[in-house]
Amino acid sequence: MTRELTLSKAVNEAIAEEMRRDPTVFVIGEDVAEAGTPFKVLAGLVDEFGTERVIDTPISEPGFTGLAVGAAMTGSRPIVDLMFGDFLFLVMDQLCNQAAKIHYMSGGTMTVPMVLRTNLGATRRSAAQHSQSLHALVAHIPGLKVAMPSSAYEAKGLLKTAIRDDNPVVIFEDKLMYQDKAPVPEEEYLIPFGQANVLREGRDITLVATSSMVQVCSKAAETLAAEGISAEVIDPRTIVPLDEATIVASVRKTSRALVVDEGHQSYGVTAEIAARIAERAFYHLDAPVGRIGAMDVPVPFSPALEDLTVPTPEAVADRARALCKGGWADAA
C-alpha cells in the first residue's frame, strides 16, 4: 500500500526501521534526542530506542564524528546527524582522512559502515554560514559515497541503502523539502546506489538535476512542453557512484543536455557531469552541454538577493529553450 509522507517523516521511518532490524545501528549528534533535531526530523526516536541509541552530544562536530568512525570500525553502524551541511568543514579530517581511507589503508581488512546525514540548500534566509550546498566537496574524495534524494520516496529508499552499506556514505537532504509530500510504500524497499531515475521521457533535450533541482527541472519541462519542446528529466540519485550510462544514453538520444545543481557552479557537480557527457556523447551533441548552478557568491541573508543566487524553473526553461534553438555556431 502507498501513502503520502513528508520527506521528514520518510527519513524518520527509514531510521526507525533500520534500528529495529539491526541493533548495531545508532544515531548520534547535536539535539537528536528530545529535540529531534532543529528540523524535528528525528522526533520520537528517543522514545522508542532510548538515549543509548539516540545520543545527544556536546557541540563538538569533530568529536562525535570521530567517535562514530571508531564505532563503525568496531562493529556498529552509526548515523551521524550533522545539523547543517555547512558544518562539514569542521569534520573534514574525520570524514575525508579517516573514514574515507581506512578500508584502503588497512588493505581491505577494515570497513567504516557509517552514514553522515546532513542538508543543503539556500532560500531559508539563514545567511552564508547556514545555506551552502557542499556535496561536491565530499564527492571529490575517493572512498565516500554521496546520495542526494529528491523526494520523500527517494529519501527513505536511499537512506536505508546507505545504512546497510559497508562504506561511509554522506546523504544530503534539502532543508526546504522536509515538509514536501510524496507517495511512499508501506512495504520495505531499497533504492540501489548508482541507478539514476528517468522521471520524464523526452526527445529534444536532457535535463540532469540533483536534489531539489529535480523539482525545478520538472516544472521547467512542463513549461517547455507547452511550447512543443520535449525535455527528458533525469535524477542521478547518487553522484558517487554516478549512473553515467543512463545520462549518456539519454543525451545520445536527445542531442542536447543541461545540467542543474544548487551547488556553486564553478568546480562543482555541473562541471563534472557536463564533462562526462562531453567525453562520451560528443559526436551526438547538436549544441554545447549547458549547466546552471548557484552563483559563485556567499549566500546572501537578504531575501531579495538570496532568491537570485539559485536556479529557478524560469532560468532552466530559458536556458533549455536557447540550447534547443541554437547550436555550435551560436556558442562560438
Query: Alpha-carbon distance 148 to 191, whole Å?
Result: 12
pLDDT at 278 over 80: yes
Band of residue 166 on the pLDDT scale cut at 50, 70, 90: very high
Amino acid at 151: S
Query: Alpha-carbon distance 126 to 117, whole Å?
Result: 19
Instruction: Provide the mean pLDDT of the chain.
Output: 97
pLDDT number for residue 332: 58
pLDDT number for residue 241: 98
pLDDT, one tens digit per residue, over 34-71 is: 999 999 999 999 999 999 999 999 999 999 999 999 99
- 71: CB partners within 8 A, 6+ apart: 26, 78, 114
Alpha-carbon separation of residue 96 from 51, 84, 171, 323 (angstroms) = 28, 17, 15, 38
- Give the pairing of strands 2-6 and 25-29: unpaired
pLDDT, one tens digit per residue, over 121-142 is: 999 999 999 999 999 999 999 9
C-alpha cell at 19: 534500528
Beta bridge pairs of residue 26 = 78
Query: Alpha-carbon distance 207 to 217, whole Å?
Result: 7
- 226: CB partners within 8 A, 6+ apart: none
- Give the pairing of strands 2-6 and 181-185: antiparallel
pTM: 0.96
Q: What does the pLDDT average to over 277-282?
A: 98
pLDDT, one tens digit per residue, over 70-90 is: 999 999 999 999 999 999 999
Q: Give alpha helix (H) positions in the chain.
A: 7-21, 45-49, 61-73, 92, 102-105, 135-139, 152-164, 213-225, 244-254, 269-281, 303-309, 313-325, 328-331
Query: Alpha-carbon distance 159 to 305, whole Å?
Result: 33
Catalytic machinery residues: 61, 130
pLDDT, one tens digit per residue, over 97-108 is: 999 999 999 999
- DSSP element (H, E) containing 56: strand 54-56
% of residues, the chain, pLDDT over 70: 99
Q: Is 57 helix (H, G, I), strand (E, B) or coil?
A: coil
pLDDT at 331 over 80: no
pLDDT number for residue 328: 83
